[in-house]
Chains A and B, each alone.
Chain A
Amino acid sequence: MTRENGLNMLIVAGLVLVPLWAFFADEPFTITLATRAVILAMAAVGLNIALGLGGLISLGHAVFFGLGGYAMGILAYHAQTYTPFVEWPFVIEGTKSMPIIWLVAVVMSSLAAFVIGLLSLRTSGAYFIMITLAFGQMFFFFSISWSAYGGEDGVSIYLRNGFPGLNTLAPIQFYGLCFGLLMLVLLFASLLARSPFGLALNAARQSEQRVQAVGMMPFRLRLAAFVISGAITGLAGALFADLNRFVSPAMFSWQMSGEIMILVILGGVGRLYGPVVGAIVYVMLEHVLGDLSDYWHIYLGVLLLLVVLFVKGGIIGAVSGRRTAHG
């Protein structure tokens, strides 16, 4: 077993044991923090598929995170106000059911990723970064100007949405649900990375010519990766909104995109558990430094700068001693 695998197992054990301890020690806040970490990790696992495997530096993943959040907010809002979401040509009611909300979140963010990808993957490099950032801002301003769903103030819901057979209001049960989903997403991501698709996508990142020369279109590979990536981040967005019982334009903001990217980088780009480590560390920093100082983003900035300039491969890279993610 490699050191990286050992580290991964340690992380999973921690994600099981710490919330369990918190449950028995009656520390619900710790469970909430762990839930936050797990959900953010999922969003970053999504980005890592585009970024780590595909080499697509998307600075607009908040679009998908926010769409997931608004899928939750809008459906739950209509359910709690007993107003239909659509009246014509047929009636669509709101819902408080998580599985339906997740489905809508995944479909909406996939669609958005498809359209944004179709446009922005015509370019590469710095253009791609700027364009994804710009589309993120478009959704941000759109959500602010859309007064039907609270505009700048966003949408609050009174009660967390339900999942069959679980009491999602109990922190530990909601955590279990999120953790289970994260594990499924990680399983999916690891299969994807080792699949023919993952091999081709990863090769297109390293040598576009090579992939074309063996009869594949890098554009299509990247578009598919972008859609998958967006869908996962969208699912995480729905969970995140449910955790907070609130969604607002902030989920669409460029800071959100930047944060999701930071999670990936802190942990280690292209590594299966990189985003998970990044999210755990990020939430701990937020909690510990946030208590110390109102200006904790300064420390985060300095830390990020040091990681970028000196620690190639993120935390997992530093711990496992392997500087690159592949091979």
Chain B
Amino acid sequence: MDDVVLETRGLCKNYGALEVSKNISLTLRKGEVHAVIGPNGAGKSTLIHQICGTVRPDFGSIYLLDEDVTQKPVDARSKAGLARTFQVSALAMEDTVLENVVLGCVGASGKAFRLFQPVLTDRDLLETAHIALERVGLEDVAEKRTADLSHGQRRQLEVAIALTLAPKAFVMDEPMAGLGAEGSKRMTGFLDTLRAEAPILLVEHDMDAVFALADRISVLVYGSIIASGTVEEIRSDPGVREAYLGDEA
């Protein structure tokens, strides 16, 4: 299909004798939220690492908008339009919230090697940054030190930075983790609107959020995708119920 934005074809990755990715093929299409779920140790993190470029697959390839990015480093994938959020916040903790978001703008604008104009006087960068902060609802704390943010606010900040990249696809690693019921609901509402902008590959443990957001779900168990389909198909799949949802559903 030609509306595929991100695709993995037959990803395989072994750590010694341990197969963490077994022939994983999945697609992310325009306008959708594709959730990847699975129990702990299923290989979700390794999958994300391979898609984002921190781990190279042993076999298989990764396509972003029909371009083979398998051998490209992390920064090149970001430039090609892939924005990720981290499971454990990766932020410049000593800097202000605004500075963290502006950092995203600097990366996206290719202004990293400008040495003289103070970054916080660059109107273009600031405008993009403030829009992103406003959209995730962090405008009020823009001048706060990132280390002083609450856990939930840091997750929002991760998303705000991703927004500044104006990406073709989002890869989000557990954006709901540790948010609490209320925060989780708000984030879900926000991600729901975000899919129109760029599709989201969502790795998430929060099943309420997954069922509320996902257009498609892939279930990863022991490094293999055992099922893939709509929410209803996955809910009723006996294999999935047994392997994964068993004790919850």
Contacts and interface: CB of A to CB of B under 8 A. Distances in A.
A178 B79 CA distance: 44
A210 B106 contact: no
Given A214-B108, A215-B79, A206 B94 contact: yes
A323 to B, nearest CB: 11
B161 to A, nearest CB: 7
B118 interface: yes
A212 to B, nearest CB: 4
A196 interface: yes
Contact of A327 (B73, B95, B111): B95
Nearest to B84: A213
A232 to B, nearest CB: 13
Interface stretch (A92-100, A187-195, A257-265): A187-195
Contacts of B147: 327
B97 to A, nearest CB: 10
Nearest to A201: B112
A19 interface: no
A200 B112 contact: yes
Given A194-B120, A196-B122, A326-B95, A216 B90 contact: no
Contact of B95 (A191, A202, A213, A224): A202
A217 B75 contact: yes
A216 B100 CA distance: 14
B119 A194 contact: yes
A198 B79 CA distance: 20
Contacts of A194: 118-120
Interface residues of B, number: 44
Contact of A209 (B86, B111, B122): B86
Nearest to A206: B92
A197 B112 contact: yes
Interface in A311-327: 324-327
A59 B117 CA distance: 30
A162 to B, nearest CB: 31
Interface residues of A, number: 28
B113 interface: yes
A203 interface: yes
A203 B103 contact: yes
A12 interface: no
Interface in B145-183: 145-147, 161, 164-165
A200 B94 contact: no
B114 A206 contact: no
Given A212-B75, A215-B165, A217-B73, A199 B116 contact: no
B96 interface: yes
A327 B119 contact: no
Interface string B71-111: 00111101100011010001111111001101110111001
A224 B102 CA distance: 20
Given A191-B118, A194-B118, A224-B113, A199 B74 contact: no
A326 B100 CA distance: 13
Given A199-B99, A206-B92, A213 B115 contact: no
Contacts of A215: 75-76, 78-79, 107-108, 165
A199 B94 contact: no
Contacts of A203: 92, 95, 99-100, 103
B214 interface: no
A210 B120 CA distance: 19
A5 to B, nearest CB: 16
B109 to A, nearest CB: 8
B52 interface: yes
Given A200-B106, A324-B94, A327-B94, 9 more contacts: A192-B115, A195-B119, A196-B112, A199-B119, A203-B100, A210-B92, A213-B78, A217-B73, A327-B147
Interface of A: 191-192, 194-200, 202-203, 206-207, 209-217, 221, 224, 324-327
12 contacts: A191-B116, A195-B117, A197-B114, A197-B115, A200-B106, A202-B94, A206-B95, A209-B90, A212-B73, A212-B78, A213-B86, A214-B104
